[in-house]
Structure 1
Amino acid sequence: MAKNYLRREPGFYKRLFLLALPLILQNLITTSLGFVDTFMVGLLGQSELSAVTAANSPIFLIQVIVFGFISGLTVLTSQYWGKGDVEAINRCMGVALYIGVAVAAIMALVLFCFPTFVMGLVTNNTLLIEMGAPYLRIVGISYIFNAASAVYVGMQRSTENPVLGMVVFAASMLLNTFLNYILIFGKFGAPALGITGAALATLTARVVEFLLTWTYALRDHRVPLRLRAMLRPGRMYFNDFLQYSAPVLINESMWGLGTTVMTAIMGHMVISEEILAAYAIMGNIDKFSTVTCFGIAGASAVLVGKRIGEGASREETYDLSWCLLLVSLFIGFTVAACLAILLPTVFIPYLYPLFHLEGLSLNIATIMCTVYVVMLPLKSFDINNITGILRAGGDARMASVIDLAPLWLVAVPLTALTGLVLNAPVWVVCLCIQVENICKMPLGVRRLRSRKWINNITRENPS
C-alpha cells in the first residue's frame, strides 16, 4: 500500500504556513519593488524599459550571488538552530558577511568603472547601452548594503524568524516607490531624472534597509550578536562554510550567469528591443508567480535542516521531504491555473498595453506567458527540491549539478541555436528557455529517493 506522505502530525501544516507566510510576503514585497521599478520606467517608453531590462541582467547576477550566500548560510544555521548552538550561528554569519560584502563590493566597483562595457556584453543596441550605463553604475553600489542586510535577515529566517525580513523589505519597498515617483518624474520640486532617478531611489532604499536591519540586530536577544564570534569566526567555520556554501554560491552564480546569457541572446536577436520588453514583463510575472514556491522552499529548508540537526532518522526526514514537495507541486498547479485565467482576461487587454507592449512585443509576451504556464508546476517542484530539500540536507554539490546541467547543457545551447542561428519562431525560442524544468524533475527525484542527500553537518563548538 502506498504511503500517504501528506498525513502529518497535528499542527504541522499550521506550523508550515506560519513559517512560509512571512517568507511569501517578503518575496512578494521584494518582487513588488522590482515591478514598481519596471512599471514606472515603462511609463517613460519601450526604449527605457528595454534599457533597464538589459542593465538589470548583470545586477541580477549580483542578486543571485547574494542569494547563494544566504542559501549556503541556511544550510548551516538551520541545522545549528536545531542543535541550539547560537555561537556557531554567529560564526557562520560572520563568514557569510566577510565573503558576501567583499564580493558585492568588487562587483559594484566593476559596474561603477566600466558600465558601458558591461552593458555592451548584454546588448549591441547603442541606444540601450547609452541609456542603461548610468543606471548600472549607481545601482551596483546599492548591493553592498543589500548583501550585509541579506545575510542577517537570512540568519533570522533560518532560525524561524522570517518576520524581520518581511518588515524590513516592506519599509524598503515603500521608500523606494516614493522616491521613484519623485526622482523619475521630477515631483515635489525635484529634477526629472528618468532612469537615473530610479537608480538613486534604489540606492537610498538599500541604505535605509541596511540601517534598519542592523539596528534590530543590536537589540535582538533571541539570537544575540556575539561580536567576537562573528568578527573572528575561525578557520574551521570558514572551511565549513566553503564546503557547504561554495557549491550553492557556484550554483547560484552560474545559474544567474546562465540567465544573463539568455538575456544577452535575446539582446542580440533581430527583434531584440521587442523581445527584451516582453521579457521584462514576463520576468515580473515569473517573480510574482513563484513567490509562494520560494516561500515554501524556504520554509522547507528550515524544517528539514532543523529536523536533521535534532537527530531525526533518514526515513523520517525522507517522508517529511516528500510531503513538502507534494505541497509545492499542488501550489504550482494552482498558480498555473490562475495565470491561465489572467492571461486572456487581464494581461492581454490591460497589463501589456499599460507597459506599451503592442504588435510584435505584445504577441511575444503572450507566447512567453503561455509556455510559462505549462512549465510552472514542474518549476515549483524543482525549486523546493533543489533550493529547499537537497540543500538543507547538506547535499549542495549534487543539487548544483541537477540545477545547472539542464540549464547549460540544454536550455542555453538550444536558445542560442533557435534564437540566433535558426531564427526560429518565437514560441520555439520560449520553449527552449523553459525546457530546463523538464530535465530537472527526474534527476531531482532520483537523488531524493537515494536518501544520500541526508547529512548532519553540524560539529561540536570548540569553545
Structure 2
Amino acid sequence: MDEVRHSLGVSLAIAVSMGLLFFVPNFLFPESVMSMFTTDVKVIELGITYSRIVAFTYIFIAITFAYAGASRSIERARMPMYASSIALILNTILSYILIYGVFIFPSLGLKGAAIAILISRFVEMTILISIIYTTKSILVAPIKVLFQFSKALFIKMFRLIIPIVLGDGLWILGTTACLAIYTHMGTDVGAAVHISNTIQNLFLIIFFGIASACGVMVGKSIGERDYDKTFLYPKKNIVLTITLAIISGVILILVSPFIVRLFQPSAIVYDYSIKILIVIGLGLFIRMYNLVIFDGIIKSGGDAIYSLILSSATIWLVGVPLVYIGAFVWKLPIYLVILLAHVEELVQAIITFRRFLSKKWIHNFVK
C-alpha cells in the first residue's frame, strides 16, 4: 500500500514540476514562446491571450495525470474516466456559452475557448480527487506519507514520467499554435472551427474510456509477465476502436447540419462548419485509433522516450508546418487546412502501427 502511495508522491512531484516548467514561460513570456514557432504578428497576438489563460491548466493537468495514473495502476480506471467525461461535456457547454456570448455572458471568442478549457481542467482535477477521497481509496494519504519515497523509486519513475509529460506539453503547444493560425484566418473561420470542435468533443467520450481500460489491461498483463495478453488484448481494442470510430464518423456527418443550426451561425460560418465536420468525420477513425494506441497502449507499455519523440515530432514537423503553409502560403479554405492537419494523424498512425507490431513498446520495469 505504501509503495503505491509513494509512487503517487513521485508522480505528483515530477508532474507538477514539469507543469510549472511549462506554466512559467507560457504565462510570463508567451510572446517569446510563440515567436519560436511563427513570425506572424497577428498569430502571436492571438496566441499570447490564449497561452496566458491556458498556462494554468498545466498545473491542473499535472495533478490529474498523477492521480489518474495511480488510479489505473490499482485497476480503478473508471475514476479518471468519469472525471474526464464530465470535464469534456463541461468544456463543450462552456465553449458554446463563452465563445458566442450565450445568456448573460459576452462573446469572448478565442479567449472564451481558453477560459472554458481552464475551468473544465480544474473541474476534472477536483472531481477525480473528490472521488478518490470520498471512496476512501488506498491512494488517500497524508502529504508526508506521499513524499516519503526512496531515491531509487524517484529515479526509476523519473525516467518513465518525464518523457510523457514533455511530449504532452509540446503537443499542447502545437495544438495552440494551430488554433491561433485558424483564428487568424478570419472571424468566420475561427467561429466555424470552435463550433466544429465543440460538436466533435461529444463523440470522443467513449474512446477515452476505451483508451483508459486498455491502459489498465496493458499495465496489468505486463506486471504479470503475460506478454501474449499484452499484445492480443490491445489488438482487439484497436479493431473495436476503428469500427466504432467509423460508425461515429458517419453519424457525425449525418447529424452535423442539425447540430450546427443550434449555434445559429451566419450562412458562411454554417457552410464552413459543415465542411469541417465532414473532414473530421471522415478522419475520425484515424484520430481515435491514435488516441487508443498511443495513450492507451504505447504509453501504458512504458515506451516513454518513443512517445516523447513521436508526439512532439509529428505535431511540430508535420502538423504545424502544413497548417501554416495551407493557411498562409497556399491560402486554402479552412476545411482543406483541417484536412492537411489530418496528415499528421495519418503519419502518426502509420508509425505507431509499425511500433505496435514490433512489440518493442512492451517494457517491464518490475524486476
TM-score range, shorter chain: 0.7 to 0.9
Q: Shift of the alpha carbon at 1:299?
A: 0.8
1:418 & 1:292 partners in 2: Cα distance? 32
Match of 1:399 among 291, 303, 307: 307
Residue matched to 2:133: 217
The range that moved more, 378-387 or 402-411, is 402-411
User: What one-letter code is carried by the residue in structure 2 that aligns with 1:306?
Assistant: K
Per the TM alignment, residue 137 of structure 1 is displaced from its structure 2 partner at its CA by: 5.4
Shift of 1:342: 0.8
- Partners of 2:103 and 2:18 in 1: CA distance: 34
Runs of 4+ in 1 over 4 A off after TM superposition: 105-126, 135-143, 166-178, 184-187, 192-205, 226-229
Q: 1:274 corresponds to which letter in structure 2?
A: D
SS in structure 1 opposite 2:76? coil
Q: Which residue of 2 aligns with 1:206?
A: 122
Match for residue 347 of structure 1 among 259, 266, 280: 259
Contact 1:153 1:213 in 2 (8 A): no
- 2:210 — aligned with what? 296
1:426 paired to 2:334: yes
1:231 to 134, 147, 151: 147
Count of paired positions = 357
Question: 1:291 corresponds to which letter in structure 2?
Answer: I
1:288-338, Cα deviation, whole Å (9 max, x unpaired): 2222222211110111111110121x3332222211111111111121121
- Residue 319 (str. 1) matches residue 227 (str. 2): no
Q: How far apart in 2 are the matches of 1:113 and 1:149?
A: 23
Contact preservation (8 Å) 1:261, 1:412: yes
For residues 340 and 174 of structure 2, the distance between their equivalents in structure 1, rounded to whole angstroms, comes to 13
**What secondary structure does 2:267 align onto?**
coil
- Compared CA separation, residues 101 and 343, structure 1 to 2 (3 A): same
1:408 maps to a residue whose letter is W
Structure 2 residue corresponding to 1:374, chosen from 282, 292, 298: 282
- Matched residue, 1:92: 7
- Measure the CA separation in 2 of the matches of 1:264 and 1:139: 13
Question: 2:71 is matched by which residue type in structure 1?
Answer: Q
Aligned counterparts of 1:420 and 1:100: Cα–Cα separation in 2: 36
- Which residue pairs with 1:356 in the alignment? 265
Q: CA deviation at 1:436?
A: 1.8
Residues in 1 aligned to 2:29 and 2:353: alpha-carbon distance in whole angstroms: 43
- Give the aligned residue type for 1:289: F
Q: Could you tell me whether the CA contact under 8 Å between 2:132 and 2:139 is conserved in 1?
A: no
Query: 1:285 & 1:455 partners in 2: Cα distance?
Result: 37
Q: 1:185 to 1:282 in 2, by over 3 A?
A: closer
Q: CA deviation at 1:206?
A: 3.2
Please give the TM-score of this superposition, normalised by the length of structure 2: 0.79
Distance in 1 between the 2:112 and 2:314 partners? 38
**Amino acid across the alignment from 2:307:** A
Q: Which runs of 5+ in 2 are unaligned?
A: none
**TM-score normalised by length of structure 1:** 0.64
Q: Greater shift after overlay, 198-207 or 383-392? A: 198-207
Which residue identity is paired with 1:381? Answer: Y
Mapped to 1, the partners of 2:23 and 2:287 lie a distance apart of 31
Aligned equivalents of 2:149 and 2:256: distance in 1? 50
Look up the match of 1:331: 244
Cross-structure match for 2:179:
263
> How far apart are 1:215 and its partner, in Å?
8.4
Q: CA deviation at 1:385?
A: 1.2
Q: How far apart are the structure 1 equivalents of 2:26 and 2:241? A: 37
Closer, same or farther: CA 454–149 of 1 in aligned 2, 3 Å? closer
- Aligned 8 A contact 2:11 2:161 in 1: no
Q: Secondary structure at the match of 1:101?
A: helix
* Aligned alpha-carbon RMSD (Å): 4.0
2:191 matched to 1:283?
A: no
